[in-house]
Structure 1
């Protein structure tokens, strides 16, 4: 069942929240042996919350739009009583969190039920879903393939129907890549829209948090529940809450939709080209708009990512370098050695690039772009051949997501159910226009172009 259906059934007392939670816990117990999506299952907490919801409904109280809906979070979110792993061995020596992350508090205030924490790439510096400490997340459509990362457990848990909603983080593509590989919907909101308070950071100037779900309605419901300014996150601005769920059915008449050209039409496998074509045809989008200097934006995003990430982890690199995943450690060490003038140039370019891209949104409402260059590669795959050139998988999975998160634009990744594996397409809008990309995603869902396939690997 979708989150929307669960909430309606629980609120109307057709289902009890306790029964929903027990069914989800049982499903996790069976399917997660294969998917390895969860690192922690908060069973007793979930049961207590479910009992409280049922009692409140029995007493005639409104428990919120997500009544009884189970959800899980990437293990970089603080969960009271759990150690915030952030996918790392080093963090396991930290004390348990004393308070939930803001977004968990808001989801539960809307009636949702937290059932656990999810696997992820170490310190979120990952596009694969592989983790040497907790094991690899496995794709629900083919368990020999990657989930994508770094929110790999989030993608696997939703795509594998363990939970209807999961929360992840996205610095360079870590919501959109798992959404693409696992065949689900993912929302990376505008930078500063949703609070990051009490989550473990990666790159503060690029980090976003957001939901992954099996329907656009579920994505919108969870997004609406989490909106709102937060004094505990300086980037979470005091914009008014703007609910999007009531707007989904408005349709897309009058919206100007174009295809992102240049960099976004390069470095693509045939499956990505087919997915873009299906989405563009369904939306009657024929105009191609060049996004200026997107390739350079990707390069600048790499510079800022690796230097800010290295700065955050310098003490850990000095004292516990042997406890890192070597692939993560080596990239962070390289980042610590990037000359300051190069970082300054990257930041100046970032301001220029943002201004140029925002100019485009004076003439178009939504840009269509690939989410990943290919369907999910095999777990452990090191290279793929693209445009006749052998390239490292890990470094190039996010080739089309990085130029977008670099300037904090809102994006919905929609799943196109190709065979044998699904792949995602990005819908990109101007800052603060989550409503537009969710409306377009909903229209594609209604047309059957964007759809979540049944997991085949379970």
Structure 2
């Protein structure tokens, strides 16, 4: 099988082929760079390529000999959202302002860990400005387009991360998720993603959005690839400049338990908020997953609306504070949507923010009680499938809502309290496009979400085909 053919498969297969000598890491890197060159003029997933670095890294792996054989991601190309530090590149975070910053002096921690596992970085990916958005209609870099329908959005804020995997440009990418920015692109682009428990993976070497809410995590086209990349990034952080939000938890590998199935798991389907804020296509996707997993119990999360409101206040306040100096000096250089929300956040009374944090804590305690009765909860990942670029409104029943913030209606209440979520892609619920389902577990139980995802993948209920680009 050629490197170009392998690139459209899974990362585990690529690493096995390199290990067996059937293909070189250099050939895989070249195939990835060639596919990006052939397709990204239409998709616009990438903002930067590191061609020389990628080929040098691949050549080093090819010359490394037998000691390289144990690397789980040997020769696998990957890319990262452009808020991850890449040595020698400016960390743009989707902005115009950061183009004036100094290049990063070192790679972010998770970039280092993937490369230590044998992966080969090929570039940085498009995103919403400063990670504040759900569509990646970036006015500085241009909109990222959904590979399954180039007229539609890829989701955001990690839109480039979702699109690059769906387009077959790379098999693994990294993104960030504050209010849904990993799960929304995964849902709209029809791929798998994992938002780990808050604090599970270190964030050092990434541009922050909301430090009390930010998560980092992977995208892939198979559950095994998701698990391999996640396992490669786990573990305590060393050194003096550690992420203060990192739990410093020992690695708990999930790859060995992917085949353990779901026997004995108590699985519920979230209703209430998660039913009222989704179109029939999203509810149908959840129904297919629920049937396959034998989930019949309906569950309502307590205080979910209050939790989402708290997340909004915390997001706006922290973001406004972080960007206040640039808002004063360079307001004209922000995207208008981002600028207005940052300004509003900077004006929020401190008493409101303090109350939001209290509500968030009480909400987390209430949800924890739900997990005394259930091991896994199912919910739509987005209210709808991908919408045309430029769409301003979403109609839910008799309600007409602004589309951009509403893409996070179903993800924000989950990330607000840091729960681990695997998003899985369902086809055929919508006439032409995929839509995702959230598999949600209690803190530190990423293994449960991935075991359930592996069952669904094995049954053919969820799948992540490479887009047929025209």
TM-score over 0.5 for the pair: yes
Alignment match of 1:181 (pick from 162, 182, 188): 188
Alignment match of 2:205 (pick from 192, 198, 207): 198
Q: Hey, what's the Cα distance between the residues in 2 that align with 1:86 and 1:63?
A: 34
Does the 8 Å CA contact 1:417/1:453 hold for their aligned counterparts? no
Q: How does 1:23-422 map to 2 (within 5 A)?
A: 23-57=31-65, 59-62=66-69, 64-231=71-238, 232-418=242-428, 419-422=431-434
Does the 8 Å CA contact 1:53/1:63 hold for their aligned counterparts? no
Structure 2: give runs of 5+ residues left out of the alignment: 1-8
Does the 8 Å CA contact 2:145/2:154 hold for their aligned counterparts? yes
Q: Does 1:451 align with 2:463?
A: yes
More off after superposition, 94-103 vs 411-420: 411-420
TM-score (norm 2): 0.96
Q: Hey, what's the Cα distance between the residues in 1 that align with 2:267 and 2:397?
A: 28
Does the 8 Å CA contact 2:221/2:465 hold for their aligned counterparts? no
Aligned length: 457
Does the 8 Å CA contact 1:142/1:456 hold for their aligned counterparts? no
Does the 8 Å CA contact 2:154/2:386 hold for their aligned counterparts? yes
The CA deviation string for residues 74-113 of structure 1, in whole angstroms up to 9 with x for no partner, is 0000000000000000000001000000000000000000
Does the 8 Å CA contact 1:56/1:62 hold for their aligned counterparts? no
SS of 2:438 mapped into structure 1: strand
1:438 counterpart residue number: 450
Q: Hey, what's the Cα distance between the residues in 1 that align with 2:68 and 2:329?
A: 53
More off after superposition, 382-391 vs 355-364: 382-391
TM-score (norm 1): 0.99
Q: Hey, what's the Cα distance between the residues in 2 that align with 1:61 and 1:317?
A: 48
Q: Does 1:427 align with 2:439?
A: yes
SS of 1:338 mapped into structure 2: coil
Q: Tell me the CA shift for residue 295 of structure 1.
A: 1.2
Q: Tell me the CA shift for residue 61 of structure 1.
A: 4.0
Does the 8 Å CA contact 1:139/1:457 hold for their aligned counterparts? no
Q: Tell me the CA shift for residue 262 of structure 1.
A: 1.3
The 4+ residue runs of structure 1 with deviation greater than 2 A are 59-63
What root-mean-square deviation, in Å, do the aligned CA atoms of Structure 1 and Structure 2 show? 0.9
Alpha-carbon distance change, 101 to 281 in structure 1, aligned in 2, over 3 angstroms? same
SS of 2:465 mapped into structure 1: coil
Does the 8 Å CA contact 2:302/2:367 hold for their aligned counterparts? yes
SS of 2:152 mapped into structure 1: coil
Q: Hey, what's the Cα distance between the residues in 1 that align with 2:145 and 2:252?
A: 36
Q: Hey, what's the Cα distance between the residues in 2 that align with 1:184 and 1:445?
A: 11
SS of 1:144 mapped into structure 2: strand
More off after superposition, 216-225 vs 293-302: 293-302
Structure 1: give runs of 5+ residues left out of the alignment: none
Does the 8 Å CA contact 1:372/1:399 hold for their aligned counterparts? yes
Q: Tell me the CA shift for residue 454 of structure 1.
A: 3.6
The CA deviation string for residues 134-185 of structure 1, in whole angstroms up to 9 with x for no partner, is 0000000000000000000001000111100000000000000000000000
Q: Tell me the CA shift for residue 448 of structure 1.
A: 0.5
Does the 8 Å CA contact 1:56/1:63 hold for their aligned counterparts? no
Q: Tell me the CA shift for residue 60 of structure 1.
A: 4.8
